[in-house]
Structure 1
Amino acid sequence: MELHQLRYFVAVAREGSMTRAATSLFLAQPTLSIQIRKLEQDVGAKLFERLARRVVLTAAGEAFLEHAEAALAEIAHARDRVAAVSGLREGRVTVGVLPSVGAYLLPGVLTAFREEHPGVAVRMVEHDVSRDFERLVQDGELDMAVTRLPATLAGLGCRTLVREPIVVLVPPGHPLQGRAGVALRELADENFVCMRGGYGLRDLADGLCDQAGFAPRVVIETGQLSIVHGMVRSGLGVALLPRLAATGAEHVVPVTDPDARRELGVVWRRTALESPPVAAFLERLLAAGDAGRG
């Protein structure tokens, strides 16, 4: 059974005449008659009774007409929905973000995108382990992800959005408070408040301390960035964080080591860009990254 056969059948049912239906469809009448016979063979029943000057639906034809019209209406609706997605009037984009990034880097992008394309839904998925994002993008669970670079999986598109400095959060009254900068080696004897092992921010802090020649003396581990901020404010230790993750902290001192940076970027599945909403959101995100670097 072919879609065009359903259209032909409905046209004949509405016109009550093979001749008039053929004219409305811009078909030769013999061609139309052949297609109707093929459809009747497919459904296993006569759909029309051929009279002298007209055709009328059989009982089987009347039963079939309701479903044929519904099927054609659904297909027309499906085409309208596809056109709406292609025209960015509706659709969906799923974006993975690190908790330390989503609240600070994306609001402006989301606001601008929603103003341009209010019918497109954007779903943000937070995840603390940046290396998992690439797999989720590759597996199709996410369209793209804003994550720590460098990317490791081949076959994904990747662009840098921001290179942000590392800072140290210090408690009120700490000797480093008010300093213009601090070298990592100066923190070797400090107590540290850190994210738990396995989190991207913990891996970053451990790696920086290792480069400076010491292992951090961790006194508090947590899975919540807000708790890191609270524990530092309470005087339990210092914390190494990227600038975005340190937003809102009262006492922040820049780290002067030249390699003390976090590179954030966006990774995407190339085939996902076949979706106009995904391509439009990526374009907006990359433009924001270019503006921020400028």
Structure 2
Amino acid sequence: MTVVEGGGRKIEQDLLSGDIDVALSMLPTREDRFEYESVGDYPIYAVLPKDDKWLGESKLELTELKDIPFYLYTSEFTITQIIERLCQEKGFVPRVGIKSSQWDFLAAMVKSGLGVSFIPEPICRNLNPKDYCFRELSDELRWRLALMWSRERYLSKASQAFVDLVKSRT
């Protein structure tokens, strides 16, 4: 088994081209050519610098963030496309400070006190809550993970065994 990392859109392309057999990716997918098994569903938090301004229990409106830089995953990540679409629906274009494929780099940029990132809850567990505010958005943002494979391609016995193993544990 070879492990390949990348954003959801790139992973989908690799599945369709046959470069990879099975992938763990974020739903929703744009393609109906995939079979998938859901494996997790988690909130995505707005991760902000630790500051009284951002403390609170209520859900945050995305428009409250429109004047600060957004630190986003690269465009190949589904989460970035969802954030950009939500901003557009709310009537603004996010001020993108930086894009990276590395969540820890995005978190470090937030810790510097200059902007916001959007990070799934399981990854937020790796961040020190003394350094960050974690806020849910009023627009429910979820990290829905699924094991995916192409309906149009042969699935090797090893890949099928892996899919079966995952299915037996979900």
The reply to whether TM is greater than 0.5 is: yes
Q: Deviations over 1:19-72 (max 9, x none)?
A: xxxxxxxxxxxxxxxxxxxxxxxxxxxxxxxxxxxxxxxxxxxxxxxxxxxxxx
Sort the Cα spacing of 1:212 and 1:267 in 2 relative to 1 into closer, same or farther, 3 A.
same
* Equivalent residue number for residue 139 of structure 2: 257
Q: How does 1:1-294 map to 2 (within 5 A)?
A: 122-128=1-7, 130-249=8-127, 250=129, 251=132, 252-258=134-140, 260-270=141-151, 272-275=154-157, 277-288=158-169, 290=170
Sort the Cα spacing of 1:158 and 1:186 in 2 relative to 1 into closer, same or farther, 3 A.
same
**Does the CA contact (< 8 Å) of 1:133 and 1:145 recur in 2?**
yes
Q: Deviations over 1:222-269 (max 9, x none)?
A: 3422110001111021112332343423331122323x2232212113
Letter in 2 for 1:195: Y
Would you tell me which structure has more helix in proportion to its own residues?
Answer: 1
Distance in 1, Cα, partners of 2:90 & 2:126: 27
Structure with max Cα Rg: 1
Distance in 1, Cα, partners of 2:125 & 2:74: 20
Letter in 2 for 1:242: P
Distance in 2, Cα, partners of 1:158 & 1:234: 38
**Does the CA contact (< 8 Å) of 2:10 and 2:76 recur in 1?**
no
The alpha carbon displacement at 1:154 in A equals 4.3
Letter in 2 for 1:280: A
Distance in 2, Cα, partners of 1:266 & 1:210: 29
Secondary structure of the residue aligned to 1:126 is: coil
Sort the Cα spacing of 1:125 and 1:213 in 2 relative to 1 into closer, same or farther, 3 A.
same
Mind listing any 5+ residue stretches in structure 1 that lack a counterpart? 1-121
Q: Count residues with an aligned counterpart.
A: 165
Distance in 1, Cα, partners of 2:123 & 2:164: 25
CA RMSD between the two structures: 2.4
Q: How many percent identity over aligned positions?
A: 26
Higher RCO structure (Cα 8 Å, ≥6 apart): 2
**Does the CA contact (< 8 Å) of 1:151 and 1:267 recur in 2?**
no
The alpha carbon displacement at 1:190 in A equals 2.7
**Does the CA contact (< 8 Å) of 2:9 and 2:77 recur in 1?**
no
TM-score by length of 1: 0.49
**Over 4 Å off, 4+ runs:** none
Sort the Cα spacing of 1:168 and 1:174 in 2 relative to 1 into closer, same or farther, 3 A.
farther
Would you tell me which structure has more strand in proportion to its own residues?
Answer: 2
Letter in 2 for 1:255: L
